[in-house]
Chains A and B, each alone.
Chain A
Amino acid sequence: MIISVASGKGGTGKTIIATNLALSLNKNIQFLDCDVEEPNAYLFLNPKISKTEPVGIPFPVVDEKKCNYCGKCAEVCAYNAIAVVKNKVLIFPELCHGCGGCSFLCPQNAISEVNKPIGVIEQGKAGQIDFVHGILNVGEALHTPVVRAVKNKINNSKTTIIDVAPGTSCPVIEAVKGTDFCILVTEPTPFGLNDLILAVEMLRKLGVPFGVIINRADVGDKKVEKYCKEEKIPVLMRIPLDREIAVAYSNGIPFILQKKEWKPRFKNLYSKIIKLTVGTKKGRQK
């Protein structure tokens, strides 16, 4: 069972939900933080990291002795990352996606590939929970390969909980796709609703079943509730605005440790998800 926790916008409390869910279940859990630009679940789970691996992409290098400046590489690069001008081949690292197209198609075999590091993944244990997160190098624009590397660590014998980056961009899609269920965390404000709708559209396209958790459910308006009802989206949980929860969050403490009544609620959330995924047949990602 792979559950992703996503949100259309940042700051809705996605990581709080993901970490509290993981700690409530605790046994046989694997936690993946795929928010590789700003991984912060470790602040709540305090894992002991035991293994670090680099993540790289193949980056093209041109052998000027073999190159005849035919321009083929610039033509084939779908990302416009190469320019061939006046007996020079320029490669723009921030545009290159490491797809290998140019080296494959260069008629002179002048392009070879070196491994360019773009981030790392760290693995360890947070109590009984298996913990993995990816960290993108500062200034690096290519998130998706790091997300993919984190997801490669999925252990199918465990229940995997994935903390996804906010938004609906490529790395978010990469993290959510192939999961058995997605929890969308939102808040009852016009912005919350707007971004929720975008996230719902994304999940429907991906064919991932989902439900909504409304955080700070007692402030704001009723439009999110109304939308979910109209769209027949299950609201799995409502978390009120609560001083203790907010203080726990700012101290990096998962709130179920202080507010014990929430632990059975998160367990119940998991049961609801199991029920909702029964009978949904879908191709799981390798």
Chain B
Amino acid sequence: MKVAISSQGDNLDSQVDARFGRCNYFIIIDSETGEFEAVSNQASGAMGGAGIQSAQTVAGKDVKAIITGNVGPNAFQTLKATDIKIYGVASGTAREAIEKYKKGELQEFSDSSVPGHFGMGKL
């Protein structure tokens, strides 16, 4: 089963990026085999709608779950239209995140966790 992790870098030792729509990479990992690929997030610099774009990117990779820090309302709505589950993680590496996921230690989001434009920082 494939899982996407929002990440600051392109490998399993990269730190998790808490911003779903604005992360640099998605690490798509097969939770059984441990095989992974890093997909760069084209939407990270978008003016608006980054979460919606990111949600489509990961949905296109046929993942079943996403591990990230915060999901805005639009991204949440987009993901809800798929059957992808969203799990929260605060910090650590991608490798640690997938381990926690496998042990069932991560909490599932039932609603968007932040208001829109949260990850944009100051312009």
Q: How many A-B residue pairs have CB under 8 A?
A: 46
Known: A83-B78, A95-B49. 7 other contacts (CB 8 A): A79-B49, A80-B46, A80-B52, A82-B52, A84-B56, A85-B81, A90-B52
Complex: how many Å from CA A90 to CA B49? 12
Sample 18 A-B pairs with CB under 8 A, ordered by A number.
A79-B49, A80-B48, A80-B49, A81-B49, A82-B52, A83-B55, A83-B56, A83-B78, A84-B56, A85-B78, A86-B81, A86-B82, A90-B52, A90-B77, A92-B49, A95-B48, A95-B49, A95-B52
Taking the complex as formed, is B43 at the interface, i.e. its CB lies under 8 A from any CB of chain A? yes
What mask results when residues 58 to 87 of chain A are scored 1 for a CB within 8 Å of chain B, else 0? 000000000000010010000111111110
Select which of B48, B50, B59 is within 8 A of A86 by beta carbon: B59
Q: Which of B47-99 contact A (CB under 8 A)?
A: 47-50, 52-53, 55-56, 59, 74, 77-79, 81-83
- What bracket does the count of chain A residues touching chain B fall in? 10 to 19
Q: Tell me how far the C-beta of A99 lies from the nearest C-beta in chain B, rounded to whole angstroms.
A: 13
CB distance from B2 to the nearest CB of A (A): 15
Which residues of chain B have C-beta atoms less than 8 A from A83's C-beta?
A: 52-53, 55-56, 78, 81
Task: Give the size category of B's interface with A.
Answer: 10 to 19
| Complex contacts, A71 vs chain B, CB 8 Å | 56
Tell whether A88 is near chain B: CB-to-CB under 8 Å: yes
Q: Would A95 and B82 count as touching, CB distance under 8 A? A: no
**Residues of chain A lying within 8 A (CB to CB) of residue B43:** 80
Chain A residues contacting B46 (CB-CB under 8 Å) are 80
- Flag if A90 contacts B48 (CB, 8 Å): no
Task: Give the Cβ gap from A286 to chain B, nearest Cβ, in Å.
Answer: 28
Closest to B78 in A: A83
Does B55 lie within 8 Å of A80, measured CB to CB? no
Contacts of A80 in B (CB 8 A): 43, 46, 48-50, 52-53
Shortest CB distance A31–B (Å): 33
Nearest chain B residue, comparing its CB with the CB of A74: B56
Neighbouring A residues of B52 by C-beta, 8 Å: 80-83, 90, 92, 95
Decide: A85 near B74, CB < 8 A? Known: A80-B43, A80-B49: no
A23 to B55, CA, bound (A): 54
Interchain nearest-CB distance for B43 vs A (Å): 7
Per the bound structure, the CA–CA distance linking A88 and B50 in Å amounts to 18
Chain A CB within 10 A, most for which of B47, B49, B55, B77: B49
B30-54 residues at the A interface, CB under 8 angstroms: 43, 46-50, 52-53
Q: Measured between C-beta atoms, what is the minimum distance from B30 to chain A in Å?
A: 20
Set of chain A residues within 8 Å of B79, measured between Cβ atoms = 85
Q: Give bound CA distance, A74 to B74, whole Å.
A: 14
Q: Is the CB of B55 within 8 A of A85?
A: yes
